[in-house]
Amino acid sequence: MDIPGPCKHAITMDHLLQIKQLISNQLRTGCSITYTFIERKHLSVVCYVKAALPRVLELVNVHFRYVRGSGSAQSVVSLQNLILNIYSQHCVPSLNEELEEDPVAFETQYKESPVQALQRVEEVLSLYLHLITSINTPVNWTCEQEYSSSDPPTVTQLTTSTEAAVGLFGQDPQGSSGADFYRLGFIVVTICGGFLVLLTAYCLLERKRLQRQLDRTRKSSDWGLQVVENYEIQEEVYQMTDHRKQFDVHLSTAF
C-alpha cells in the first residue's frame, strides 16, 4: 500500500512533544490503571503499529479524561484527532477480521501507572513517525501471517525444566528452600548461643577481678587505720612521759 501524501505529515514531532508534556503532568506515585495493550514480542514494526493503534485510541478515551479546556485535555484531544485522521486518510488500514488479522495472541493486560501507559503510547507513535518518514516505498500492511504465529511457550518450557530437575534429584525445590531456611536459622541460633556463653564467662571473670581489687583496697585501708591508731597511742605515751618528767622536776625543786 502506497503512503498517501497527507500521511507523510499526519504525525509530526509536535505530537510527540504533546505526549511528553502529558507524561510530565502525571503523578509519579499513587494510582494505577488496568488496560489491555499489545505486547510486541516478535512482531515487525509495521504489524506492531497496526495492532497497537486501536489500543492507543481506546486507552486515551477510557483512562485519560481531564477538565475541558485544560492543557492535558487539549493534548488528549490532539492525540485522539491524530489517530482518527490516520484512519480517515487510510494511512494505516483497520484490522481486517475477514483475513484473520486478529492480534489477540499479543494482547496483554497491564496494571501500571498512567506514566507507563503513556510511555507505551509514545513508543507506538514514535515507531509510526519513523516508519513513514524513513522510507519512500509502499508499506505492506498485511499481517495475518505474523498475527497467526506466536512465540514458543516459555512458561511451559520452564515448568518442564523444573519437573525434570525434580525428577532427577528427587527433591522438591520448595522443600529444599525450607530446609535451607531452617539450617540457616540453626546456624544463627548456635552462633548467638556461643556468643552468650563467652559474654557470661567474661562477666564472671571481670566480677572476680573487681572483687579481688576491692579486697586489696579494704586490707590497705585497715592497715592504714592500724598505723594511725598506733601512732596516736605512741603520742599519748610520749605525752604521759613528758608530764611525768616535769612532775619529777617540780618535786625535786620543791624539796
Number of structural domains (the chain) is: 2
Residue-by-residue DSSP string for 75-93:
HHHHHHHHHHHHHHTTSSP
Q: Which of 135, 136, 133 is nearest to 125 (CA)?
A: 133
Same domain, 215 and 180: yes
Same domain, 66 and 192: no
User: What would the pLDDT profile of 57-91 be if each residue is shown by its tens digit?
Assistant: 999 999 999 998 898 999 999 999 999 999 998 89
Q: Give the range among 60-64, 102-106, 126-130, 180-184 with minimum mean pLDDT.
A: 180-184
So what's the pLDDT on residue 232?
67
Same domain, 73 and 98: yes
**Domain span holding position 64:** 5-151
**Between residues 231 and 151, which one has the greater pLDDT?**
231
Final residue belonging to a domain, choices 109, 131, 151: 151
**Contact, 152 vs 83, CB < 8 A?**
no
Same domain, 208 and 121: no
Same domain, 161 and 59: no
Residue 128 scores a pLDDT above 80:
yes
Same domain, 111 and 171: no
Same domain, 189 and 93: no
Residue 55 scores a pLDDT above 60:
yes
Final residue belonging to a domain, choices 107, 126, 151: 151
Same domain, 60 and 182: no
The SS3 assignment for 111 reads strand
Final residue belonging to a domain, choices 121, 151, 181: 151
Specify the pTM. Answer: 0.56
Same domain, 69 and 140: yes
User: What would the pLDDT profile of 131-156 be if each residue is shown by its tens digit?
Assistant: 988 887 778 888 888 888 765 434 33
Contact residues for 139 (Cβ-Cβ < 8 A; gap 6+)? 1, 2, 3, 46, 131, 132
Contact residues for 32 (Cβ-Cβ < 8 A; gap 6+)? 111, 112, 113
What whole-number distance in Å separates Cα of residue 83 and Cα of residue 78?
9
So what's the pLDDT on residue 29?
66
Same domain, 15 and 123: yes
The label of the residue with cell 552468650 reads: 196
Same domain, 109 and 65: yes
Q: Which of 128, 110, 139, 143 is nearest to 53 (CA)?
A: 128
Q: Is the dihedral of CA 179, 181, 186, 190 positive or negative?
A: positive
* Beta strand 107-112 pairing with 33-38: antiparallel
Same domain, 131 and 12: yes
